[in-house]
Structure 1
Amino acid sequence: MPAPVAIVFDVLGTLVDEPAGLRAAIAAATDRSADGDVDGLVRLWQDHVAAEQEKIVAGRRAFAPSDVLDAEAAALVAERAGITDAAALATASHRLPPWPDTQAGLARLAERFPLIGLSNASPRALLRLNAHAGLRWHQALSAQGAATYKPDAAVYRLAVDVAGCAPEQLLMVAAHAWDLRGAAAVGLRTAYVERPVGDPPTASDRFDLHARDLADLADQL
């Protein structure tokens, strides 16, 4: 595969451990350890956000930024768990921990390639998340700029427009096969990175690269 002009990274799940961050925030708000009950609340949060994003992509709901969807999810969790301050819980997605290889991997890749973050998180959430997790970018883009969510083609075109090159000159990196399928449909090259919370490829998926982590991805590039 020819060297990409720039590398485009998914953020949630790929570079930060979203369930762990939500779990910690919910456990703290409920004074519980990260037990099965808290895991169920994490699933409630993530399932709501995913379902609402799918509605927006399909045109069944008007666009709402991720801050709104997170606030809705936090309210559901608060009602289920008896939490009184849902507003404070709603910013849990701003404080997600990076995977152990994330910071070093981004720094290494940034020595050779321009790096673009492309996230379904709002600009406000992305700013705070980048700072909290120590993510290094040359450009960070939010799906809010396209008033929709991945895997809508309009979101990937944000990265294409910023890079100013042909789609096939960009490499999309994600731990979610659905995300990579969306990028490939626009013409981007694709690299799957293994994460325990990701969406693994199926037997029919044909991505350009498959890496164990960011160090392995850098070695391959």
Structure 2
Amino acid sequence: MTGPNTNRPILVFDVNETLLDITALAPIFERVFGNADSLREWFAQLILYSEAVSLSGGYTPFNILAAGVFRMLGKTKSVGIQDVDIEALSTAMATLPALPDVHPALSALKQSGYRLVTLSNSPPGSGESPLMRAGLAEFFEQSFSVHTVERFKPHPDTYQQVAEALDVSPSALCMVACHVWDTIGAGAAGWQTVLVRRAGNAEILAPGVRHPDWIVDDLNGLLEIATSEWT
């Protein structure tokens, strides 16, 4: 195992909402629930139950859990969920577009010599990945999934698998994510962390909550860190 490289860490990107725009799912929630804001409620519940499943020692793939939570939300709102609705959600989740700042930022980081990988709650598929469909796969040397260890982020095993696979110490890795629960988990695993303030996400200031090492408004802010603090 190599020693820490704090000057030029390997950047590990979360995928959903950090790189890919989940607001593309909003029309489905508007059609089914009559309110696009239900998207945020569904996603928050999806993360809650993914963590509950891991804490209780179970596992089911993220896309299957997503469909289950979608049906559950329908029951709590007295809305009938049809198979066609589940199919539409699954298709849309697999074809999310990249957020506007992502492609230019990843291109600049890659050209500057940074090593880039991803770590996602989503399982690998048999066909084209969401990153491939979004035109981002070329920037990453490897894409990791929690499916390998059957634990969802922020379980320690999800981060450990990346360090072991890349044969680096935890401090040589930097998690880039828009979710505080992800930066908390990565920080606890010994990683550096960057929180990206995507819409609907922010840092938490409370005693006992691990704070991200850096907070940026978008990936342009990550580029500034890369050129000022890691070179």
TM-score higher than 0.5 here?
yes
**Structure 2 counterparts to residues 13-162 of structure 1, below 5 A:** 13-18=17-22, 20-27=23-30, 30=32, 37-40=35-38, 42-59=39-56, 62-76=58-72, 80-84=78-82, 85-91=84-90, 92-111=92-111, 112-124=113-125, 127-135=128-136, 136-162=139-165
The secondary structure found in structure 2 opposite 1:140 is: strand
Equivalent AA in structure 1 for residue 52 of structure 2:
K
- DSSP 3-state at the match of 2:99: coil
TM-fit CA distance, 1:182: 0.5
Structure 2 Cα separation of the partners of residues 126 and 108 of structure 1:
28
Deviation at 1:101, TM superposition (A): 0.3
1:215 correspondence with 2:215: no
Q: TM-score, normalised by structure 1?
A: 0.84
Question: Is 2:194–2:213's contact at 8 Å kept on the other side of the alignment?
Answer: yes
Secondary structure of the structure 1 residue equivalent to 2:181: helix
Structure 2 Cα separation of the partners of residues 170 and 70 of structure 1: 29
**Native 8 Å contact 1:66 1:121 kept in 2:** yes
TM-score after normalising by structure 2: 0.81
Deviation at 1:125, TM superposition (A): 9.2
Structure richer in helix, relative to its length: 1
Aligned residues of 1:14 and 1:195 also touching (Cα < 8 A): yes
8 Å contact from structure 1 (residues 174, 192) kept in 2: yes
Measure how far apart 1:90 and its partner are: 3.5
Structure 1: gaps of 5 or more residues: none
Q: Is the 8 A contact 2:203 2:211 kept in 1?
A: no
Distance change >3 Å, CA 126–CA 50, structure 1 → 2: farther
- 2:7 is the alignment partner of 1:7: no
Distance in 2 (alpha carbons) for counterparts of 1:180 and 1:142: 16
RMSD: 2.5
Which whole-Å CA distance do the structure 2 matches of 1:88 and 1:78 have between them? 15
Q: Kindly state the Cα deviation for residue 93 of structure 1 after the two structures are TM-superposed.
A: 1.6
Q: Distance in 2 between matches of 1:62 and 1:26?
A: 28
Q: Structure 2 residue aligned with 1:175, among 158, 174, 178?
A: 178
| Cα distance change, pair 154–100 in 1 and its aligned pair in 2 (3 A) | same
Alignment gaps of 5+ in structure 2: 227-231
1:128-164 per-position Cα deviation (integer Å, ceiling 9, x unaligned): 3212322231111111111010010000112111221
In structure 2, distance between residues paired with 1:202 and 1:94: 34
Verify the 8 A CA contact 2:184 2:211 in the aligned structure 1: no
**Distance in 1 between the 2:16 and 2:169 partners?**
25
Identity of aligned residues (%): 27
